[in-house]
Structure 1
Amino acid sequence: MSKGDTAANTLQQHLQQLSDAFALRLQEELPALGQSAERLLQTADPQEQVQQLQSLRDQLHKLAGTAGTFGFSSLGQRARELELDADQWLHTLQQEQQGLQAFSHSLQLLAKQEFQSDPKQMPAPQKAPLTKPMQSTRRIYILEDQLAIGENMRQTLNNFGYQAEHFSRIAELDAALQQQLPDALIVDVNLPDESLTGLQYAAGLQERLAEPLPLLVITTQNDFATHLEAVRVGAMGFFTKPVDIPQLENRLERCFSQQQGEPYRVLVIDDDRELASRFSLILRGANMRVEMLYEPAEIFARMRDFNPEVILLDVNMPDCTGPELAQIIRMNDEWLRVPIIYLSAETDINRQMSALIKAGDDFVTKPISDNALVAAVFSRAQRARLLSNALSRDSLTGLLKHADIKEQAAVELERALRSGKPASVGMLDIDFFKKVNDNYGHAAGDNVIRALANLLRQRLRRIDSLGRYGGEEFLVVLPDCTAEQAWGVLDEIRQRFAELTFIASGSEFSVTLSAGVASTADTSNSASELLEKADQALYAAKHGGRNQVR
């Protein structure tokens, strides 16, 4: 017998041993399931019935998954059928308990809607979160019983462009909440002078609100139980003391960008035009930007022009199959981050796995409900954008990294030359930044860098591009903007930055910046030349006395 045969036999023996052990487990678990079912029939309390049925459903779900793995396929199938039955009964029981509340809520929704067509013929898909209008200043409430920590956090967040307020007692925060709700809440877990912990208070508050607030947690307890409790009350960030405030602010910015970011871009590729159109309508109804592609040969141009964040791809297409097209897409390194979701009526798991192994990230089986389609695409798009930002953006400032902002400068220069419209770039550098690090520490230096990054983000337009060019140096790219206009904008930012007051080691200090501007009117067709001229202007500002724009 060969070594390969021996290894295969050994593996088979181990698998059989596991199956035998599972069979022994079944001798205990199946009777226990039967006993649980009997207790369910004897229970009169509806709430307790729901809890017991939820437990039974979870056990059946686990059994359905494991039984087939260990070779008990018929048992697994039967467990799956009973799991579905349990879901239906659970839904019925919950409906009976919540029917009046649901009915009242439905009437309220009905009163707010105007139907122009028969809703039975045109069901509305469940929508993903809609973007909110941009706000000039975000209001942040901080619950922190230690005065020095809370005030330092308040001052730093105000420097970052927020309107932060600090409260040391729950009663003070409650009074402020009665007057105006914040855009986000930062809560300390440890409140020794209160009857509630910060997380207990936050849990009660979130239940009272019609829409939960973005919640960040700060604490001295970096254990699993505290993390778990924070997740259960809906926390979107967890920070241990001493808190890295730039990192905390970065998480705040991420929370807000998820709420009101640009619509996700989805490319639907399907040779069935009617079906692609329907998918497009559903996704657009969920506030996504959608383009359709029927000819695979057009993929390169569409990927470059549209830059999709998710690709919805049919498997069976003539001339070029979905997996083949997915492999073509994956050959381009620029598109490796884009998730590919296959759409197909194929139910054979081996064929599905084969398609995913070649290239792809998910497999959705047709027919698919509208809600399921939105959920599948939205979750993938959300994750893809977070990953893309993490890879292309500086971790401290959230701005583009050196290579990405240089590339954006080249793109805007090319666009300006085509359109004949002006474009400008600005180089900004913090004056005497080394002294800040030497005198106040690197944490204070990070706060200064983050404050300037946020000031740029708030003052500049959505079409402008911002990047961290070096340690304390920034590059801004301003389309459709003359050198004189760019000078005016950057000089205003220079003045506002000089007015900020930073606190570190019990001392207050201020910082200034210098900047250089260049425009397409000053160069030929070279992005590197444009950047070089801006850098020379910055050098002149530095050697001309600093705290100025040249």
Structure 2
Amino acid sequence: MADNPQLQAQLAAIEARFRQRLDDELDTLNDLCAQLHDDPSALRSLRDRLHKLAGSAGTFGYGELGRVARQLEQQAQTQLDAKQPDAAVLTDLSSAGAQLRPLLKRDEQRQAQPQQLDAGISDEDRHRHVGLLIEEDDLASQMTQTLDSFGYQVTRLASPEALHTAAQLDALIIDTSPPGSRLLSHPVFQQAPGQLPPLLIISSLDTFSSRLQAVRAGAVGFFTKPVDLPLLERRLERGFSSQQGGPFRVLIVDDDTELTARYQLVLSNAGIRVDTVSDANLLLDKMHKFIPEVVLMDLNMPEYSGPELAQVIRLDDDWLRVPIVYLSAETNAERQMSALLKAGDDFITKPISDSTLLTTVYARAQRARMVSDALARDSLTGLLKHADIKEQLELEAERAKRSHAPVSVAMIDIDHFKNVNDSYGHACGDNVIRALSNMLRQRLRKVDRLGRYGGEEFVAVLPGCNSDDAYQLLESIREAFNALQFSSGGQQFHCSFSAGISACEADAWADEELLERADRALYRAKQSGRNRLCRDDGVPD
């Protein structure tokens, strides 16, 4: 975002509005100061005004003004906590407005050029290029074949030095088993964090020492032999989850208009989708429509507190995973801890620099998405669970409506699956489910969403696909699945699936109707003899 004239112009406009508001704020403070000795309620109003000023002034570059406002706020709070206010302190506070006005002028004279923001997170799609530093030929060949089938570009490296000449890698998989046991001590792996791609370590030893060594080398995954390749691939997939899931979504709950506008501008220019709430009555509706991954919550607002609203959010189990980060000028450690104990996850003290805001939000959102993704995955297939694929359908339907793009939904069910379990056992049935889930993941695009809806039933959400595109894609997968040969106890057999497809190409239906229509089309496919696809015709049965 550095050297972005449009951004700097927008920031300047917000700062100008805040500067204009400062004059009004200081006039109001002067009026409250004049009332201190005659009106006891004026002290609380003065404290609230000083608290808000202490939080916002520094963010807009009025650092000294913000620091003194915080000191005065603490004095006011001490008097509110005291059984009997100190007349001498009240006299000092009565000159608060007069103390702050000169600081405003000094801060204006000291302000440097408009601040440059740190570079944002790029929206550019990653090339999924994985490097293998594995001496065991069989393992390297097997891993290359598996990762290739999942759509990764794989390069086998002959030595650590090859990293210097290899094309840019998005991940690196290293086998530290003998004879590669000393690989991590190579100078290439002693570089500063961030100079190497994410590392996944394979080892023949599963000890605390080997895992600690992997962590110190910067590993994000550790796998022991024999390697569970689907599990390793899922860890790779999780590493790319922030790019797959689209921009992070952040909801700001704050009553300060200019401050909220600045936060929104800074985050938006980093590729983050931002929405705001200033009216608490709209909070839950906004949560359900926007589905934020992080909530930035002001701690003190006129009619309600941040912890109160955080607890209201936490009453809904759907939002237990969403981190809530409090924003406040509060510096008292005890009050901060009290706020965190009431449904909060983190605390950022105002004033907040743009880089701190970006770093905190990005780190929290990334971590939240990774945890949410891990919890959302079915243990057998690694696909999204029932509730989570429905949530993804809701997100993609909303995105399609905003962009006026098509979206299709397919419900897929393995034919006569009970016969497979009865004839060959549940372990063999699990293999059939895994095979179909793997094939779907291999053949569908990375932007598609895929979940295990229940038992042997799957749901695929295909953004940007109309009915014809979805039909052709699923038909090719159906034919490939028919050709797979399964074996159990020396017996060979084949399986098939049926699918129902519905599509929305003109904002015609809500996401719930898309799923219901796909389910009806699946029912027709099964009634028509199975091993086929049926499209929803848009006419209720």
TM-score clears 0.5: yes
Letter of the structure 2 residue corresponding to residue 123 of structure 1: Q
Alpha-carbon distance in 2 for matches of 1:466, 1:327: 32
Following TM superposition, by how much is the alpha carbon of 1:444 offset from its aligned partner in structure 2, in angstroms?
Answer: 6.1
Return the match for 1:151 from 141, 160, 163.
141
Give CA deviations for 1:80-103 in whole Å, capped at 9, x if unaligned. Answer: xxxxxxxxxxxxxxxxxxxxxxxx
Per-residue CA shift, 1:315-349, capped at 9, x if unaligned?
Answer: 22112222222222222222222211111111222
Q: What CA distance in whole angstroms lies between the structure 2 residues aligned with 1:269 and 1:414?
A: 22
Identity of aligned residues (%): 44
1:266 Cα shift?
1.3
**How far is the alpha carbon of 1:130 from its aligned partner?**
2.7
Give the SS at the match of 2:205. Answer: coil
Alignment of 1:269 with 2:253, yes or no, is: yes
Provide the C-alpha distance between the structure 2 equivalents of 1:402 and 1:155, rounded to a whole number of angstroms: 30
Q: CA deviation at 1:513?
A: 4.5
1:424–1:517 contact (8 Å) kept in structure 2: no
Deviations for 1:459-491, whole angstroms, at most 9, x for unmatched residues? 7xx4x5421123443212446765444312211
Structure 1 residue 209, shift from structure 2 partner: 11
CA shift for structure 1 position 250:
0.3
Taking a change above 3 Å as real, the CA distance of residues 215 and 510 of structure 1, as seen in their structure-2 partners, is farther
* Residue of structure 1 equivalent to 2:174: 187
Q: Does structure 1 conserve the Cα–Cα contact (< 8 Å) formed by 2:441 and 2:450? A: no
Is the partner of 1:123 in helix, strand or coil?
Answer: coil
- The aligned residue for residue 152 of structure 2 is 162
1:141 is aligned to 131
Give the partner amino acid of 1:180: A
- Deviation of 1:189 after TM superposition, in Å, equals 0.4
C-alpha distance in structure 1 between counterparts of 2:208 and 2:394, whole Å: 47
User: 8 Å contact 1:246–1:447 — kept in the other structure?
Assistant: no
Helix, strand or coil: the match of 2:288? helix
The answer to whether the 8 Å contact 1:437/1:445 transfers is no
Contact 1:206/1:213 (CA < 8 Å) preserved in 2?
Answer: no
- Residue 286 (structure 1) aligned to one of 267, 270, 274: 270
TM-score, normalised by the number of residues in structure 1? 0.64
1:197 corresponds to which residue? 182
Question: Cα gap change, 1:244/1:204 in structure 2, threshold over 3 Å: closer, same or farther?
Answer: same
1:208: Cα distance to partner? 9.8
Give, in whole Å, the separation in 2 of the partners of 1:421 and 1:264. Answer: 21
For the pair 1:361 / 2:353, whether they are aligned, the reply is: no
Matched, 1:530 2:517: yes
User: Does structure 2 retain, via aligned residues, the 8 Å contact 1:314–1:342?
Assistant: yes
Give the aligned residue type for 1:158.
D
- Per-residue CA distance 1:353-407 (angstroms, 9 max, x = gap): 2222233122221123332222222222222212222233324544321234356
Deviates more, 1:157-166 or 1:316-325: 157-166
State whether residues 127 and 287 of structure 1, in contact with CA within 8 Å, keep that contact through their aligned partners in structure 2: no
CA distance in 2, matches of 1:370, 1:389: 28
> Which of residues 352, 375, 394 is equivalent to 1:391?
375
Aligned partner of 1:121 in structure 2 is: 113
Write the distance in 1 (CA, Å) between the matches of 2:403 and 2:189. 53
SS across alignment from 2:326? strand
Task: Look up the SS of the partner of 1:458 in the other structure.
Answer: coil
Structure 2 partner of 1:519: 502
Helix, strand or coil for the counterpart of 1:399?
Answer: coil
The CA deviation string for residues 490-535 of structure 1, in whole angstroms up to 9 with x for no partner, is 1133356678899x99x9x997753322437999986675244233
Letter paired with 1:243: V
- CA shift, 1:235, in A, is 1.2
The answer to whether the 8 Å contact 2:161/2:188 transfers is no
Q: 2:208 is matched with which residue: 224, 243, 248?
A: 224
Written as runs of structure 1 = structure 2, the 5 A alignment for 1:414-425 is 424-425=408-409
What one-letter code is carried by the residue in structure 2 that aligns with 1:264?
F
Kindly report the root-mean-square deviation, in angstroms, between the aligned alpha carbons of the 2 structures.
4.3
Given the superposition, is the C-alpha separation of residues 148 and 395 from structure 1 closer, same or farther in structure 2, using an over 3 Å criterion?
A: same
Alpha-carbon distance in 1 for matches of 2:138, 2:515: 47
Give secondary structure in 2 for the equivalent of 1:390. helix
Change (3 A) 1:356 1:453: same
Following superposition of structure 1 onto structure 2, how do residues 279-428 of structure 1 map, counting pairs within 5 Å?
Answer: 279-406=263-390, 424-428=408-412
Q: Secondary structure at the match of 1:290?
A: strand
Task: Select the structure that is richer in helix.
Answer: 1
| TM-score (norm: length of structure 2) | 0.65
Helix, strand or coil: the match of 1:299?
helix
Q: Distance in 1 between matches of 2:483 and 2:154?
A: 18
- Paired with 1:418 and 1:199, the residues of 2 have a C-alpha distance of 48
| 8 Å contact kept, 2:147–2:154 | yes
Indicate conservation of the 8 Å contact 1:190/1:219, yes or no: yes
Question: Any gaps of 5 or more consecutive residues in structure 2?
Answer: 1-110, 535-541
Is 1:235 the counterpart of 2:224 in the alignment?
no
Residue of structure 2 in register with 1:15 after alignment: none
The answer to whether 1:490 aligns with 2:474 is yes
Q: Show structure 1 runs of 5+ residues with no match.
A: 1-118
CA distance in 1, matches of 2:349, 2:218: 32
* Mean CA deviation greater in 265-274 or 347-356: 347-356
Paired residue total: 416
Alpha-carbon offset, residue 210 of structure 1? 8.3
Residues 263 and 289, structure 1, Cα contact 8 Å, conserved in 2: yes
CA distance in 1, matches of 2:519, 2:493: 29
Secondary structure of 1:363's aligned partner: strand
Distance 1:422 1:373, change over 3 A: closer
1:260 to partner: Cα distance: 6.1
Change (3 A) 1:441 1:277: same
C-alpha contact 1:344 1:366 (8 A) present in aligned 2: yes
2:365 and 2:281 map into 1 onto residues whose CA distance is 24
| Equivalent position amino acid for 2:148 in 1 | N
CA shift at 1:184, angstroms? 2.0
Deviation at 1:410, TM superposition (A): 7.9
2:155 and 2:471 map into 1 onto residues whose CA distance is 34
Letter in 2 for 1:247: L
3-state SS of the aligned residue for 1:490?
A: helix
Q: Check conservation: 1:393, 1:399, Cα contact below 8 A.
A: yes
Letter in 2 for 1:132: E
Deviation at 1:352, TM superposition (A): 1.8
1:298 partner letter: L
